[in-house]
């Protein structure tokens, strides 16, 4: 019995006309929704990969621990209307590269503004920055030099390609307004977009993808921050319902998300400052006469001290909560904890533990470091301190099994650089070598997907494969039929005399080598729909297409 709440069985004939998803939803059974992808000829179970928290650990539906180890790729938040770099390189190939390199989660910065634009079907304010000669798939005509698609259609192409690659997606509301400097705004609202607009955008996005577990998480707001020197713009964390109270806003945001899809993980970042003992949020930032500081400082979004006294309360959905601080090195800003010959222990003592690490070490909740990264080359990091910090944090995340998304894939992040360079055309092997040990992989170095059926990239494996299910790299396995004659009804896998969605479910489980079920020799013979001598995903698709009335008989 599946634990997640899902929509019950429905037959869906096609995707909404507003999208250009290559995957076509054609059926559902029990609590599962299936999509037939015409591009790959594969039928995907769209609702078997939701994650939740048990005893402080993120697990799949069977209770197996997972490790989200991903990367950030921005562009949609800054006005490009697409991932940055698609102006010079092929988007599909870059997503393939991310999967092949072992990143199983893609954190995608968005803005409230662009989500509302898509929700309302408003036109792009600027043409998406797409090189249509490098990306003919992103043109309306499907040709080099064609007319560039609408940005939401391009986004859904990316969602489909992530699905094919075994990559899961987490969006991040990086800013209220779409702007290159939008992340510098301290709060989740502006004069142009209110808290209500933010909640509307969250709810719409969660609802739109509620039957697509390619999208498994939402980071409610990137880096709430602000200090007491500008009190009206300071994100706070307490038990009030003040408009600036991030804890209260985050609980509202989580409700907006989970009321649409209770299966999504909700990431809650921290704030920037937190009052020291004996003071409250009315204290000034500093007493300049005595140089007394009244707040504990942190990176933007990094301060989760408030969780100890005022934990996030999601009610019945508490098992969808993950806290998500950000952490950076001395090249982003030379914080006081870098002023010594720092070690893991000094970083814990001076900053990490009381700011966010206690949450995972005391098993309060899981952590996902939503941003970490930086330069490690001699030009920027001459003394090696940034590389040292990055290595220490990496090893601590491995030790504590902390989830993370590296910042970033883009080369055009001014204070960190990225995993690619030369106009997104070359891979930074030195930086990747540093990140590589922190990516989820087995003892043989084979990367592990967060998808139960789809292997991660060209050489990775699926969750079923890792936990003893289907063969790596196959979705699903191909089985040679026996010589048993087809005495029953074509497509009647369970042998009950009729063809139904239950036959699809049984066949998918058989192909995934689910040892909890059996299929008779006659049922296996009936499952073979096209006389090619094998049972595979093409047969599953034929039954689904028949049930969805897309073909008039099962046999093809």
Catalytic residues: 223, 371
Cα separation, 15 vs 26, in Å, equals 9
DSSP state of 485: -
Q: What is the DSSP string of 36-81?
A: EETTTTEEEESSS---EEETTEEE-TTS-B---EEEE---TTTT-S
Question: In 3-state terms, what secondary structure has residue 380?
Answer: coil
The torsion angles phi and psi of 306, rounded to 5 degrees, stand at: -65, -20
Question: In 3-state terms, what secondary structure has residue 167?
Answer: coil
Contact 366, 54 (CB under 8 A): no
pLDDT, tens digit, 9 for 90 and up, residues 303-333: 999 999 999 999 999 999 999 999 999 999 9
The residue among 241, 227, 344 whose CA lies nearest residue 284 is 227
Mean pLDDT of 272-284: 97
- Give me the pLDDT at residue 8, please: 26
What value, to the nearest 5°, has the Cα angle with vertex 136 and ends 474 and 214? 40
Range with lowest mean pLDDT among 127-131, 379-383, 473-477: 473-477
Which tokens sit at 27? 């059926």
Mean pLDDT of 464-468: 94
- Give me the pLDDT at residue 62, please: 94
- Mean pLDDT for the chain overall: 90
Question: In 3-state terms, what secondary structure has residue 216?
Answer: strand
Q: List beta partners, residue 18.
A: none
Which tokens sit at 482? 């026996």
Mean pLDDT of 276-280: 96
- Give me the pLDDT at residue 29, please: 40
The edge-to-edge listing of strands for the beta sheet with 42-45 is 23-29, 32-37, 42-45
Statement: residue 438 has pLDDT above 70: yes
Residues of the chain with pLDDT > 90, as a percent, come to 77
Neighbours of 310 (CB within 10 A): 15
Q: What is the torsional sign of CA 89, 93, 98, 102?
A: negative
Contact 42, 537 (CB under 8 A): yes
pLDDT confidence tier of residue 32, bands split at 50, 70 and 90: confident
Which tokens sit at 534? 């094998």
145: left (phi over 0), alpha (psi -120 to 50) or beta: left
Cα separation, 212 vs 556, in Å, equals 28
Statement: residue 403 has pLDDT above 50: yes
Quick check: bond before 408 cis, omega within 30? yes
3-class SS string, 401-439: CCEEEECCCCCCCCCCCCCEECCCCEECHHHHHHHHHHC
Range with lowest mean pLDDT among 111-120, 385-394, 480-489: 480-489
The torsion angles phi and psi of 227, rounded to 5 degrees, stand at: -120, 170
pLDDT, tens digit, 9 for 90 and up, residues 506-551: 787 677 666 556 787 788 888 888 877 788 777 877 777 677 666 7
Which domains, ranges and CATH numbers included, belong to the chain? 69-359+366-438 (3.20.20.80)
Cα separation, 554 vs 241, in Å, equals 58
Statement: residue 480 has pLDDT above 90: no
Statement: residue 275 has pLDDT above 50: yes
Statement: residue 128 has pLDDT above 70: yes
- Give me the pLDDT at residue 2, please: 32
Output the CA torsion 529→532→535→540 (10° steps): -40
Statement: residue 404 has pLDDT above 80: yes
């Amino acid at each position: 019995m599946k634990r997640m709440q899902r929509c019950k069985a429905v037959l869906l004939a096609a995707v909404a006309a507003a999208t250009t998803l290559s995957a076509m939803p054609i059926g559902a059974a029990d609590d599962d929704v299936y999509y037939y992808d015409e591009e790959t000829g594969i039928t995907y179970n769209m609702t078997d990969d939701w994650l939740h928290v048990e005893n402080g650990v993120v697990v799949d539906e069977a209770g197996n621990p997972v490790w989200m180890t991903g990367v950030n790729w921005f562009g949609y938040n800054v006005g490009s209307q697409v991932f940055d770099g698609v102006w010079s390189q092929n988007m599909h190939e870059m997503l393939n590269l991310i999967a092949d390199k072992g990143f199983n989660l893609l954190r995608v910065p968005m803005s409230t503004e662009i989500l509302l634009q898509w929700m309302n079907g408003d036109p792009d304010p600027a043409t998406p920055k797409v090189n249509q000669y490098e990306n003919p798939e992103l043109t309306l005509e499907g040709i080099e030099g064609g007319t560039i698609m609408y940005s939401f259609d391009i986004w859904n192409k990316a969602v489909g390609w992530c699905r094919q690659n075994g990559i899961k997606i987490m969006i991040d509301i990086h800013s209220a307004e779409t702007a290159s400097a939008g992340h510098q705004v301290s709060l989740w609202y502006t004069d142009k977009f209110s808290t209500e607009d933010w909640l509307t955008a969250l709810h719409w996005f969660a609802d739109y993808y509620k039957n697509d577990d390619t999208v498994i998480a939402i980071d409610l707001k990137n880096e709430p921050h602000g200090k007491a020197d500008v009190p009206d713009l300071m994100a706070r964390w307490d038990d009030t319902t003040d408009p600036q109270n991030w804890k209260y806003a985050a609980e509202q945001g989580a409700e907006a998300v989970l009321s649409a899809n209770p299966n999504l993980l909700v990431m809650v970042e921290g704030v920037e400052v937190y009052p020291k003992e004996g003071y409250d949020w009315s204290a000034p930032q500093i007493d300049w006469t005595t140089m007394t500081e009244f707040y504990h400082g942190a990176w933007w979004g990094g301060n989760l001290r408030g969780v100890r006294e005022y934990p996030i309360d999601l009610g019945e959905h508490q098992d969808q909560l993950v806290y998500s601080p950000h952490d950076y090195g001395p090249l982003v800003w030379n914080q006081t904890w870098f002023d010594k010959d720092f070690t893991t222990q000094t970083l814990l003592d001076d900053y990490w533990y009381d700011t966010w690490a206690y949450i995972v070490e005391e098993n309060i909740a899981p952590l996902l470091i939503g941003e970490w990264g930086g330069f490690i080359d001699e030009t920027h990091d001459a003394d090696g301190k940034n590389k040292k910090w990055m290595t220490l944090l990496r090893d601590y995340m491995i030790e504590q099994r902390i989830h993370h998304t590296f910042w970033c894939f883009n080369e055009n992040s001014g204070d960190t650089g990225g995993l690619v360079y030369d106009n997104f055309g070359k891979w930074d092997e030195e930086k990747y070598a540093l990140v590589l040990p922190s990516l989820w992989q087995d003892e043989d170095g084979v990367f592990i997907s967060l998808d139960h059926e789809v292997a991660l990239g060209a050489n990775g494996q699926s969750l079923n494969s890792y936990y003893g299910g289907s063969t790596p790299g196959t979705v699903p396995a191909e089985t040679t039929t026996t010589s048993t004659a087809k005495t029953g009804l074509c497509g009647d896998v369970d042998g009950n005399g009729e063809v139904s969605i239950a036959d699809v479910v049984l066949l998918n489980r058989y192909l995934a080598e689910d040892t909890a079920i059996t299929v008779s020799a006659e049922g296996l013979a009936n499952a073979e729909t096209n006389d090619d001598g094998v049972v595979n995903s093409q047969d599953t698709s034929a039954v689904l297409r028949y049930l969805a009335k897309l073909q008039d008989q099962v046999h093809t």
